[in-house]
Amino acid sequence: MEELIKRIKKFRDDRDWEQFHSPGNLAKSIVIEAAELLENFQWNSDFDEQKVKEELADVMNYCLLLADRLNIDVIENMHAKIDENERKYPVAKAKGISKKYTEL
């Protein structure tokens, strides 16, 4: 993960783009790229796998840049969120059910 983040930051730094990467701008970029990802599924279930991969990579790159900017350890943060979700959605109550945890 560390190597990947270094490579993303090098790409950014080689182009002097960090100046544009405020937390707000990065968050906006995540949403914009997520919309482009969703566009691949807009009208039917057929999609171009390569385009989906490219848009998913864009979303993830911006997520990693935002986490780095905010000094968030991505791996630790993801584990913490999974722990929280396991508490909110115990298997005995949530298995096979799509309701929000407050409705279980």
Domains defined for the chain, CATH in brackets: 1-72 (1.10.287.1080), 73-104 (no CATH)
The 10s digit of each residue's pLDDT in 33-45 is: 999 999 999 998 8
Q: Tell me, what's the pLDDT at 44?
A: 84
104 pLDDT band, cuts 50/70/90, is very high
Query: In whole angstroms, what is the distance from residue 8 CA to residue 64 CA?
Result: 8
pTM of the model: 0.90
CA angle 100, 103, 104 (to 5 degrees): 95
